Structure 1
Amino acid sequence: MTEFSGRTDPERILPLLWRHRAPAAGRPTGRPPKLTVDAVVAAAVALADADGLAATSMAKVAARLGVGTMTLYTYVPSRAELVDLMVDDVLAGRALPGPGDPRPENWRDQVGVYADRTRAMYRAHPWLSQVTLVRPPIGPGMLAEREYVLSTVSGLGLPLHRINPAALAITAFVTAGARQEADSAQLRRATGQSDDDWWLQRMQLWEDWFDVERHPAMTELWNAGGFHESEDAFGYGLAVLLDGIAADAAGFSPA
């Protein structure tokens, strides 16, 4: 089941998302708390990694931490806030280079870093594909991604009004590919069946129902061996996208 991020009350979620950058308040003088928000989020992420997002209830997270469910609510107001915190935590886990951090000199290689780490993130946390990020949790992880991709394309010579669309196009392509890989991993885990085995079970389709006259392009490519020699679709698509952005930028560069 798909879940939506960003549905939470900003006055409740923003202090939690930015808890490590909040100004220091007066330190409590009583008994130290049993838990921290970080510990709650880490336990929830580990539970989702192991058993899926649907299994990550407040009660199960509390049990994993060895506390009562009501205790958990003193750290995180509801499961909706918890999901937002989990999402931003794994986004931040990519550790994308920030301002002043070492990064590849070539902008394509910089995009490659972003793509590789994003795909690795979804492989490590396949449940993330079940959370729509149309309205994302606006935390350190999300903003680090935006800063990194924007800084990668901002020096290409694109006009001001094209910089953000170029960055969003890269983000959309990479995220879509990573989420598809995660969906495939979720299916393999849920069914115990690989994608190749799934297709092999349906080989009868090609013998009994496939009409070559209605699918001439597919037939021609199959007969030529094109389906067996296809290159990596993700790598090809990303390269073509970056070629287009580079060509667009070159069109605005001084002659």
Structure 2
Amino acid sequence: MSELAITGGIAPHRINAMILRYWYLLLSSWPRLLELLYWPALQIVTWGFLQTYIAQNAGFFARAGGTLIGAVILWDILFRGQLGFSISFLEEMWARNLGNLMMSPLKPIEFLIALMVMSLIRLAIGVIPMTLLALFLFHFNFYGIGLPLIAFFCNLIFTSWSVGIFVSGLVVRNGLGAESIVWTLMFALMPLACIYYPVTVLPHWLQYVAWTLPPTYVFEGMRALLIDHVFRTDLMIEALAINAVLFIASFAVFLALLRSARRHGSLIQSGE
């Protein structure tokens, strides 16, 4: 039985070739590597000292035990996961190479899988040192969360990939003039994801909107775990169900926008 038959038409060697391309691009530029390390480190130091100050001056936050630092790390997983996906995609747009890739045997699903793998690689480069800084400077052991961390991570990374696939489709169809949405869309979701405060802080009508976003379930679950020492399995299952819908929808939208770009010649004329 051939390799393609086993994998349903997806060729691992083509995915591996794309991953190697992005890996070599990453290693060839020290500013790219520095940026992956700089911003997570800056965030954990800034918010960590704020957490220390609040813990020393407010009884609730002293009991909350690291909810701010935990929220910062989880937010960075969400944001950096999407950004790592989108940056690798934009490398092709900036190099005017996307049209060449789409005319090659490379399939859209293989392209997206390669981008997902690079998202994980970029994320690991930035977040692992971030968690070590949190442990060294503020004695917050992120990995001490244990098995619930797997549920938190999976839900956040699936959301980040869904957003990354969706915005990549918009850029494919509209060219680099739509590039700004890559940097801004996740921040637009930030207030509704309730990263640093519970959902109950929001106006009642806005809480319904917040509960349509998978990250909201993750951050509520994180607070329940760190404050009440309860793992909310129900929240993680609901988040996973919403993520499944978003992931399938984002992939369908990407394919539709890719077909539209091919019809209108946008793959070749990918400028502003």
User: What range describes the TM-score normalised by the shorter chain of this pair?
Assistant: 0.3 to 0.5
Structure number with higher helix proportion: 2
TM-score between both structures, scaled by the size of structure 2: 0.36
TM-score between both structures, scaled by the size of structure 1: 0.38
